[in-house]
Amino acid sequence: MVPSRRAFLYGAGVAVASSLAGCAGVGLGDSPQLGQLGVTNYDTQSHVVHVLLLEGDEPAYWTSKRVPAAEGDVLGTAVFEGDPAGVEPNRLLTRLDGQSLSAADRFDFAEYEADCLGLQIEIGDESRPPELSIWYTAGPDPCETTETTE
C-alpha cells in the first residue's frame, strides 16, 4: 500500500523533530515567544501579505493584511495584531499576494536561542520582482508592551 501524502509529511515531521530533540539548549524552552510581527513595503505597489503561524504541525494563527505602497520617502507599513495569547509558535510561513503556500518564506523559531523574537517581513522594491525577506530582533524588547514603557 502506498502511503498518503499526509502520512508521509507526518512521518517526515516526526523524524525531523526527533532529530532536533535536545538542540534548543538548556532552559530555553521549546521556542521563543513571538513579541511583534510587522511588514515594511519598499515597493511602489501595495501588496497583500499572508502569514501562518504553526504550533507543532497545527495552524495556530493565520491572517492576511494589505500593506500600502511606498510613496516617496514614506514606506508602507502594517502590523499583525491579535495573535492568540498562550500560543508558542515554532514556525512562520509567509507569502506575497497570490503565491502558493509551497512558495512561502519560512522562519523556524527553534533555530534561535532567545526568549523573545520580533519579526519584520520586508517586501523588496521594484528594481527586482518584489520578494519577501524575514528579519528578526532577539531579546526582551519585542515582548515589552507599550504599557510598560514610559
Cell 533555530 belongs to: 111
Contact between residue 102 and residue 50 where contact means Cβ atoms under 8 Å apart: no
What are the cell numbers at 138? 532577539
Cell 511583534 belongs to: 36
Q: How far apart are CA 54 and CA 63, in angstroms?
A: 12
Per residue in 96-130, pLDDT tens? 988 888 889 999 998 988 888 999 999 997 666 78
Q: What is the pLDDT of residue 146?
A: 39
Confidence band for 5, pLDDT divided at 50, 70 and 90 = very low
Domain boundaries, the chain: 26-143
Contact between residue 90 and residue 31 where contact means Cβ atoms under 8 Å apart: yes
Which of the 8 DSSP states describes residue 43? Answer: S
What are the cell numbers at 113? 536561542
Contact between residue 138 and residue 112 where contact means Cβ atoms under 8 Å apart: yes
pTM, to two decimals: 0.72
Q: How far apart are CA 32 and CA 134, in angstroms?
A: 16
Amino acid at 4: S
Q: What is the pLDDT of residue 74?
A: 95
Per residue in 19-69, pLDDT tens? 334 333 333 456 788 888 999 999 999 999 999 999 888 998 999 999 999
Of the options 2.20.28, 2.60.40, 1.10.3470, 2.40.50, the CATH number for the domain spanning 26-143? 2.60.40
Contact between residue 43 and residue 133 where contact means Cβ atoms under 8 Å apart: no
What are the cell numbers at 9? 509529511
Q: How far apart are CA 113 and CA 31, in angstroms?
A: 8
Which of the 8 DSSP states describes residue 111? Answer: G
